Structure 1
Amino acid sequence: MGRRILVQRRGKGTQNFRSPKHRKRGAVKYIPRNYNDVLNFEVIEFIHEGGRGTPLARIEFDNKKRSLWLPPEGIFLHDRFQIGPQTEIMVGNTMEVQYIPEGSLIYNIEILPGDGGKLCRSGGTTATLMTRSEKGVQILFPSGKRKVIHKNSRATLGVVAGGGRTTKPYLKAGNKYHQMRTKATNWPVITSSGMNACSHPFGGGRKKMSGRPTTTSRNAPPGRKVGMIAARQSGRKTR
């Protein structure tokens, strides 16, 4: 049957490899669409969520309903903002992209109207609204990619808070370990030949070599099926 290597145990999703969802504060997305009214809300609290690189804000609407919000840089407690189809052009306000001026910095952008915000949500990031056309509104993202989205999709003006987080060094491996643990991220990442023999078929030994062929049969058992599976050829091509 072969061995249950580390990659297989991780993919199974057992307790040691699951994301700690009990630390999550809740869904961070826009409220359901309201096509007519403009709602006002106030920031009442800033909170931290384990595994998330940006701070969260707890907001309260005029009707006393509360929600979680992804705040921009430069705001304070008890600041008031608006969300609606068309609001005042101000950092922190949320509106449809068809009413946002060209060249504005926006974040937490909806791919489809009403999905609650999917794009540009990590700390310190922002996108730029470029041009409008009959097909939709063109957005320039930090990666340099341009995407056309629906004109009724909503976005928030400003830059996501928490931008200076990545400039601070970890200093110790333990700090890195605990942060990756909250995100359920595989760390540290090492090569297969650097693992122990119990964790990978290529592991063990004193040198950085697999010690066996790296091509594997299609019919190999699960613990052995690593490397180049059912390779058509290996090595240099001959002319």
Structure 2
Amino acid sequence: MGKKILVQRAGRGGSQFKSPSWRRVAPLRYVQFSEEQLKATIRGIIKELLHITGLNAPAMRIVLENGEEMYLPAVEGVYVGKIIEFGPDARVEPGNVMPIGKIPEGTMVCNIEKSVGDGGRYARSSGTYGVVMIHRDSTTLVQLPSGKMVEVDSRARATIGIVAGGGRVEKPFVKAGSKYHRARTKAWKYPKVRGKAMSAYAHPHGGGSHQQGGTPVKKNAPPGQKVGFYGSKCTGRGCVRWRAQQAKTQQRQQA
């Protein structure tokens, strides 16, 4: 009898596959303000810059004038003791939070709200930022780190600046142990063995005298069976011949 593959075991849940959210200090998001507070400029002070396990960017703990606390992704150029302004009349400086409709075009921003009051959804990873492109009647066009353009409500909040911790991905892990400990904090499964490298009882792609690409799985298969290629339109030697014929046809047309 075969054993359950990783996808199926992960789908059942359990402590092994649960993200360790209890290690997080607090969610990094904007606090909710009342309608009156949104119109005024509220000030806060950065009390602490800290690392939160499992997050790849440093965080800043901000205490507002009214005593409320919030944690946000730290941006480049901020420091402990810096005054942070929240509101439509805030200055365009790193760390300040404004409605995106009030931020000048071409400004680099981060922790952008997808919808008003959601606390921030876009450009939150270390070294990332979005660019304010065009202001329209009630929406603003923003370019995300991926290059994709999205339209958000002009009342959605964003932080001026670039998320701190840039260049993190440029340093290699070097040792498998480093990646192992990183995976523990992120709830990744590491190391991952290829299905075709397993025995036949352990995976649909396993077994055989030689390693080959596994048989494609149907598109309407249940989630636990969807491993490797599924719903492939073109497979095997016939696919290679078809591609070669297509290439020859294109060459003749160009000639």
2:68 corresponds to: 65
What is the CA distance between 1:191 and its match in structure 2? 2.6
Matched, 1:178 2:217: no
* Cα shift readout 1:140-178 (whole Å, capped 9, x = no counterpart): 122111111111111010000111222222110110111
- The SS at the match of 1:163 is coil
**How many residues are aligned here?**
237
1:56 corresponds to: 59
2:170 corresponds to: 167
Moved over 2 A (4+): 33-37, 186-191, 195-199, 201-207, 213-239
- Residues 229 and 104 (structure 1), Cα distance of their counterparts in 2 relative to 1, 3 Å cut: closer
* 5+ residue gaps, structure 1: none
Matched, 1:79 2:89: no
Is the helix fraction higher in 1 or 2?
A: 2
More deviation, 225-234/114-123: 225-234
Which residue identity is paired with 1:148?
E
Q: Distance in 1 between matches of 2:102 and 2:176?
A: 47
- Residues 109 and 215 (structure 1), Cα distance of their counterparts in 2 relative to 1, 3 Å cut: closer
TM-score normalised by structure 1 residue count: 0.86
Q: Distance in 2 between matches of 1:134 and 1:217?
A: 46
Percent identity over paired residues:
37
1:188 corresponds to: 191
1:214 corresponds to: 215
* 5+ residue gaps, structure 2: 243-255
Q: Distance in 2 between matches of 1:143 and 1:220?
A: 31
TM-score normalised by structure 2 residue count: 0.81
- Residues 227 and 123 (structure 1), Cα distance of their counterparts in 2 relative to 1, 3 Å cut: closer
Q: Distance in 1 between matches of 2:51 and 2:226?
A: 42
Q: Distance in 2 between matches of 1:196 and 1:106?
A: 50
Q: Distance in 2 between matches of 1:66 and 1:45?
A: 11
What is the CA distance between 1:187 and its match in structure 2? 3.0
Q: Distance in 2 between matches of 1:181 and 1:202?
A: 27
1:29 corresponds to: 29
Which residue identity is paired with 2:167?
G
Q: How does 1:89-100 map to 2 (within 5 A)?
A: 89-100=92-103
- Residues 91 and 172 (structure 1), Cα distance of their counterparts in 2 relative to 1, 3 Å cut: same
What is the CA distance between 1:228 and its match in structure 2? 6.5
Q: Distance in 2 between matches of 1:29 and 1:142?
A: 19
- The SS at the match of 2:164 is coil
RCO higher in structure (CA 8 A, sep ≥6)? 1
Matched, 1:137 2:148: no
What is the CA distance between 1:216 and its match in structure 2? 6.2
What is the CA distance between 1:217 and its match in structure 2? 8.2
Q: Distance in 2 between matches of 1:167 and 1:232?
A: 37
Q: How does 1:103-114 map to 2 (within 5 A)?
A: 103-114=106-117
Matched, 1:88 2:91: yes
2:251 corresponds to: none
* Cα shift readout 1:114-164 (whole Å, capped 9, x = no counterpart): 111110100000111111122511111221111111111110100001112
What is the CA distance between 1:190 and its match in structure 2? 3.9
What is the CA distance between 1:201 and its match in structure 2? 3.0
Q: Distance in 2 between matches of 1:58 and 1:223?
A: 41
